[in-house]
Amino acid sequence: MASKKIGEVILDVQNISLSFGGVKALTDISFNVREHEIRAIIGPNGAGKSSMLNCINGVYQPQQGSITFRGQTFKHMNSRQVAEMGVARTFQNLALFKGMSVLDNIMTGRNLQMKTNVFQQAWRFGAAEREETAQREKVERIIDFLEIQAYRKTPVGRLPYGLQKRVDLGRALAMEPQVLLLDEPMAGMNVEEKQDMCRFILDVNDEFGTTIVLIEHDMGVVMDISDRVVVLDYGKKIGDGAPDEVRANEDVIRAYLGTSH
């Protein structure tokens, strides 16, 4: 990790507050993410972690604050715009098409990159056909990278959970993101599946230089692979810094002692 070159701030979250009726999901949250780093967001259940990712990728619109991405500041993000800016996301609860093959699921991540329109695609003439071939080659490369060649034609619903999570990562990677938001990519996995997922996250970060924002409950994993950690509790930020700093933070220890994590 020490050899990794961490760059400028790519994503800057400023004073974000979000509430649902009376529930304050996020209160005045600020933190930044630097290019090429693995930035973890941790905190007990209901702390606001997923809500934070949902603000970044335009699914939720915060009542206050702003988000700056590569120097451009937004009050509200819009999902399509966010994707076009190179931010991709995996979900805490898988959002895959269970009846579709691994290949087709990952292909859905390429939609934004497809330049020809639906009419051309339907006829598969000329440019559209060439483009489809090029897109498939990119998807095949992701399938090789994630070592899921053997399952490329298998309907996703038939795969074990750990592999489904890997396909979800593949769908996000197909967007060729600069920033990848991962919401509990290792939840529900056994030790071996977690090790595999850790390795893929590190490889994505290393080989493609992708900046990663990672929500994860497994403290061993977080302390191992992240460069910096933000800690949320009841929608407030209670810690921010290198893994060692955060681990020694009294407020963080207290928040974690009060929960099952």
Ligand X SMILES: Nc1ncnc2c1ncn2[C@@H]1O[C@H](COP(=O)(O)OP(=O)(O)OP(=O)(O)O)[C@@H](O)[C@H]1O
By CB under 6 A, name the binding residues for ligand X.
20, 23, 25, 43, 45-51, 92
Q: Which does 194 bind (CB under 5 to 8 A by kind): Mg ion, ligand X, none?
A: none
Least Å distance between CB 205 and ligand X? Answer: 22
By CB under 5 A, name the binding residues for Mg ion.
49-50, 92
Least Å distance between CB 240 and ligand X? Answer: 16
Least Å distance between CB 24 and ligand X? Answer: 8
Burial class (CB in 10 A: 0-12, 13-18, 19+), 111: exposed
Which residue's C-beta sits nearest to Mg ion? 50
Contact 204, 227 (CB under 8 A): no
Q: Which does 45 bind (CB under 5 to 8 A by kind): Mg ion, ligand X, none?
A: ligand X
Q: Which does 57 bind (CB under 5 to 8 A by kind): Mg ion, ligand X, none?
A: none
Question: How would you list the strands of the sheet with 72-74, edge to edge?
Answer: 23-34, 9-20, 64-69, 72-74
Contact 149, 166 (CB under 8 A): no
Residue 225: how many CB atoms within 10 A of its CB? 19
Q: Which does 48 bind (CB under 5 to 8 A by kind): ligand X, Mg ion, none?
A: ligand X
Q: Which does 128 bind (CB under 5 to 8 A by kind): Mg ion, ligand X, none?
A: none
Contact 201, 212 (CB under 8 A): yes
Least Å distance between CB 184 and ligand X? Answer: 7
| The two three-digit tokens of residue 204, written as one number | 């994505």
Q: Which does 242 bind (CB under 5 to 8 A by kind): ligand X, Mg ion, none?
A: none
Comparing CB distances to ligand X, the nearer of 146 and 215 is: 215
Going by the DSSP 8-state scheme, the letter that residue 247 receives in this structure is H
Least Å distance between CB 211 and ligand X? Answer: 20
Comparing CB distances to Mg ion, the nearer of 70 and 217 is: 217
**Best CA proximity match to 60, nearest among 48, 44, 72, 68:** 48
Comparing CB distances to Mg ion, the nearer of 61 and 111 is: 61
Comparing CB distances to Mg ion, the nearer of 41 and 102 is: 41
Distance CA 249, CA 251 (A): 6
- Phi, psi for 185 (deg, rounded to 5): -65, -15
Least Å distance between CB 92 and ligand X? Answer: 6
Comparing CB distances to ligand X, the nearer of 20 and 119 is: 20
b/e burial code for range 230-244 (CB count within 10 A of at least 16 → b): bbbbebbbbbbeebe
Least Å distance between CB 92 and Mg ion? Answer: 5
Comparing CB distances to ligand X, the nearer of 78 and 259 is: 259
Distance CA 210, CA 204 (A): 6
